[in-house]
Amino acid sequence: KTPLIKKTTPIPIALYGGRNAVTMLPGDGIGPELMGYVREVFKYAGAPVDFEVIDIDPKSDDNSELEYAITSIKRNGVAIKGNIETKSESTLVLSRNVAIRNELDLYVNILHCKSYPGVPSRQQDIDIVIIRQNTEGEYAMLEHESVDGVVESMKVVTQSNSERVARFAFDYVKRTGRKRLTTIHKANIMKLSDGLFLDTSKKIAKEYPEIEHNDMIIDNCCMQLVSNPHQFDVMIMTNLYGSIVSNVVCGLIGGAGLLSGKNYGDHYAIFEPGTRNTGTAIAGKNIANPIAMLNAGVDMLEHLGHQQHANLIKRAIEKTLCEDKIHTPDLGGTAKSTDVVQRIIDHILQADIRPW
Ligand code: ATP
């Protein structure tokens, strides 16, 4: 039988004179101000990265900027991204965020939810990884009104995508030395779609006998996450469950402003804040937490192979949050976004070991 997943050749990442070119999509709401902080911190950390900034107008029905953004990511291989709003009322204008992920075939989203010691939160010492199928499921964007007053929405689950995300998840558990993978589903009700996703992960589990595999119904998973989150190690799930569970876990450890998420396909990668919020209500007030987007920048540097620069920024973030306790209002503090960024830059400038 021919394997469903064909081996593909990775496309090289853009590198000119030792510097990486990456696409920057600031998005809307707090996105542009947070990207400004990323550029500032990268400058002081000496990160060898140049940004190709592309603004997509959320009010426009014209998709030429979106197409330019996709071409740019294909050229550079890598992007950092804020959330793009879809303001058009027209059902013909689809979410640009979903369109970008689908067009680039970024089939997996990873959210590493690790507590920052000393940051006020509902739960401490959380260390959970959520691996989410990122391109289909409930986000297939196939909705229609079949007759007046009856709307149908398709949830698409394919064997090939379920298989490659499952294989990615088991490889991730193995590579990172973690212990257990839990498949989250609702196969008791959605017997065909979630049934296929669950059966596929059980099938792939047989190739990884050293990894413990179990499964849990999504409803119970949400309850367990609130009452006993420390039982979880790595979780894998379809798209919408992934979005909801990611938000639950981020809420447990400090909210939308801390964690970053990674989107991977076979060829391209996009880094962004973990909960993908726009933050329209807090834009321009100098109160948005800059950490989630800075962590997206750290993830991107690691992906590009600039580990020393990534470590430098990571340590400066940890010192600012956990030791100095410079916290924005979402974490119960009174610091401005710029206070947090300034302290991070101070730590970078004082660091003993600088990569340049
Ligand atoms: P909208 O498009 O209406 O902005 P959304 O789904 O993107 O909606 P938000 O309302 O933007 O979600 O975000 C959810 C909550 O998280 C809000 O209370 C917002 O203020 C908060 N939030 C998001 N990002 C940050 C951040 N970086 N710092 C502090 N709070 C944040």
Each residue's pLDDT tens digit, 260-300: 999 999 999 999 999 999 999 999 999 999 999 999 999 99
Mean pLDDT along residues 80-99: 83
Given pLDDT bands bounded at 50, 70 and 90, which one contains residue 259? very high
pLDDT class of 10 with cuts at 50, 70, 90: low
pLDDT level of residue 15 (50, 70, 90 thresholds): confident
ipTM above 0.90, yes or no: yes
Is there an atom of ligand 1 within 6 Å of 289 CB? yes
pLDDT digit string (tens) for 138-174? 988 889 999 999 999 999 999 999 999 999 999 999 9
Residue 349: exposure state from Cβ atoms within 10 A (0-12, 13-18, ≥19): exposed
pLDDT (0 to 100) of residue 348? 95
* 11: confidence class by pLDDT, cuts 50, 70, 90: low
Q: Name the pTM for this structure.
A: 0.93
Q: What separation in Å is there between the alpha carbon of 287 and the centre of ligand 1?
A: 12
272 CA to middle of ligand 1, Å?
14
Quick one: pLDDT at residue 58?
A: 83
Beta carbon of 292 within 6 Å of any ligand 1 atom: yes
CB 136 within 8 A of CB 161: yes
State the distance from the centre of ligand 1 to the C-alpha of 275, rounded, in angstroms.
9
Amino acid in position 119: V
40 CA to centre of ligand 1 in angstroms: 23
Give the pLDDT of residue 14.
78
Instruction: Give the position, in ligand 1's atom list, of the atom nearest the Cα of 280.
Output: 4
pLDDT tens-digit series, residues 195-247 = 999 999 999 999 999 999 999 999 999 999 999 999 999 999 999 999 999 99
Which among 87, 277, 326, 339 is the best mutation to test ligand 1's pocket, defined by most ligand atoms within 8 Å of the CB?
A: 277
Ligand 1 center to 279 CA (angstroms): 4
pLDDT at residue 5 is higher than 50: no
Q: For residues 242 and 293, what is the distance between their CA atoms, to the nearest angstrom?
A: 20
pLDDT for residue 347 is more than 90: yes
Using alpha carbons, select from 138, 200, 132, 141 the residue that is nearest to residue 172: 132
